């Protein structure tokens, strides 16, 4: 079987790729994605690094984004994305396309539809993104991460899979974040790409934070802002006087992610669907800072789920500053006993078999087409 995988959520794709290689070892995988996280960033994205490290061919798709885009150059990339996707699909001749949403998936799936290549997509969020809403008309199957999103799609196409989670989240494979003090540890992350907005506040709040806790901080690696280097310099200035210890990483990779979550008493994070599923599965107290400009305000909706279940404090980005971050972390650390799952059925929202289900449905779709072509 030959598959093209695309979309904006490569974290969800990674455990499915692992499942393909385990259960369907003859599978040939190709990836359509972004080599850069942003137009202004000169560094390779974590998506590019992780996919190519698996020896998967990576195609840098120059697709344009329509949502809240007023840049004429980016809009002109919309037809370019379709031309690129069509050209590569004709060259690869995949049996099936597996999409993980986002605007990169649009030219890939629709081009595949014109070429007679069947597609399956996965929707991570509770609310539905514009891309998957459009693609629901062109795909054969729609795997959903949350049962509440079923109402947005044609019932005949919907399969509840859950959100695919990395096994490494549940496994401690490192010993990197040990300290000789008795302070609690917090883990600050904003998704694998990091967040300059959050990093700027952490720079200001770091001396105060290190007075009460150890900090594991995933900063990202954006070439324009150089947040990692600046945070490293600040720690050199204050580290000798601090009670706590800073563990600074550009990326917390699979070999350390299990330990980071395990050591953290509190997680400070954005609230993407993948992140909140991990936090729910691990039952981690958290301070969530939703991205305010994403479509359908989906990150706020995600954050409200964990708040409803008793695990989260929500800190709006408009209110984010040195004082509010420190106050939110202090509040949760001081009342950890209050941040417990308050709904016995909440854990059922996490389906640990999601990678298996998505891989199976993708394989079955390709297999059915192959059988119909031989008749």
Q: Is 148 exposed, middle or buried (0-12, 13-18, 19+ CB in 10 A)?
A: middle
pLDDT tens-digit profile of 219-241?
998 888 899 999 999 999 998 88
Nearest 5°: the CA angle 104, 109, 111 is 105
Within this chain, domains 2-165+351-374 and 168-349 share the same CATH topology? yes
pLDDT at 103: 86
| Number of CB atoms found within 10 A of residue 281's CB | 19
pLDDT at 134: 92
CATH of domain 168-349: 3.40.50.2000
Q: Report how far residue 159's alpha carbon sits from residue 235's, in angstroms, rounded to the nearest whole number.
A: 48
User: Which helix (H) or strand (E) covers residue 20, if one does?
Assistant: helix 10-23
Nearest 5°: the CA angle 213, 304, 271 is 55
What integer is the mean pLDDT of 127-152? 92
pLDDT tens-digit profile of 242-301?
999 999 999 999 999 999 999 999 999 999 989 999 999 999 999 999 999 877 788 999
Task: Give the pairing type, strands 214-218 and 246-249.
Answer: parallel
Q: Report how far residue 127's alpha carbon sits from residue 151's, in angstroms, rounded to the nearest whole number.
A: 10
Query: Is the pLDDT score of 371 beyond 80?
Result: no
pLDDT-derived band of residue 374, with 50, 70 and 90 as boundaries?
A: low
Structure-block tokens of residue 314: 């929500």
Please give the C-alpha separations between residue 337 and each of 254, 298, 310, 311, in angstroms, as whole numbers: 29, 28, 11, 10
Per-domain boundaries in the chain: 2-165+351-374, 168-349
Q: Report how far residue 309's alpha carbon sits from residue 280's, in angstroms, rounded to the nearest whole number.
A: 9
Assigned fold of 2-165+351-374: Rossmann fold (3.40.50)
Q: Report how far residue 97's alpha carbon sits from residue 94's, in angstroms, rounded to the nearest whole number.
A: 7
pLDDT at 72: 55
Structure-block tokens of residue 119: 């597609």
């Amino acid at each position: 079987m030959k598959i093209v995988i695309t979309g904006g959520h490569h974290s969800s794709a990674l455990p499915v790729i692992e499942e393909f290689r385990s259960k369907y070892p003859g599978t040939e995988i190709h990836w359509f994605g972004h080599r850069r996280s942003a137009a202004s960033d000169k560094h390779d994205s974590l998506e590019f690094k992780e996919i190519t490290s698996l020896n998967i061919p990576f195609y840098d798709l120059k697709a344009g984004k329509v949502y809240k885009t007023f840049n004429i150059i980016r809009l002109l990339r919309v037809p370019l994305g379709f031309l690129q996707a069509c050209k590569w699909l004709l060259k690869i001749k995949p049996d099936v396309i597996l999409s993980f949403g986002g605007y990169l998936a649009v030219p890939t799936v629709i081009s595949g539809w014109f070429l007679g290549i069947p597609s399956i997509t996965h929707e991570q969020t509770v609310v539905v993104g514009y891309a998957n809403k459009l693609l629901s008309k062109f795909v054969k199957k729609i795997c959903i991460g949350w049962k509440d999103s079923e109402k947005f799609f044609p019932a005949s196409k919907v399969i509840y899979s859950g959100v695919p989670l990395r096994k490494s989240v549940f496994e401690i494979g490192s010993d990197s974040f040990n300290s000789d003090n008795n302070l609690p540890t917090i883990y600050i992350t904003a998704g694998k790409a990091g967040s300059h907005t959050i990093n700027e506040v952490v720079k200001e709040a770091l001396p105060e934070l290190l007075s009460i806790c150890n900090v594991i901080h995933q900063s990202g690696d954006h070439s324009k802002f150089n947040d990692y280097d600046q945070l490293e310099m600040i720690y050199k200035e204050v580290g000798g006087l601090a009670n706590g210890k800073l563990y600074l990483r550009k990326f917390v990779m699979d070999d350390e992610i299990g330990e980071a979550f395990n050591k953290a008493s509190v997680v400070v994070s954005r609230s993407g669907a993948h992140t909140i599923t991990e936090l729910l599965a691990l039952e981690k107290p958290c301070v969530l800072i939703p991205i305010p400009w994403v479509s359908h305000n989906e990150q706020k909706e995600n954050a409200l789920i964990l708040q409803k279940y008793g695990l989260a404090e929500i800190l709006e980005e408009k209110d984010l500053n040195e004082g509010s971050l420190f106050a939110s972390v202090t509040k949760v650390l001081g009342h950890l006993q209050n941040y417990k799952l308050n709904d016995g059925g909440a854990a059922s929202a996490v389906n640990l078999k999601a990678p298996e289900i998505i891989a199976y449905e993708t394989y079955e779709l390709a297999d059915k087409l192959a059988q119909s072509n031989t008749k």
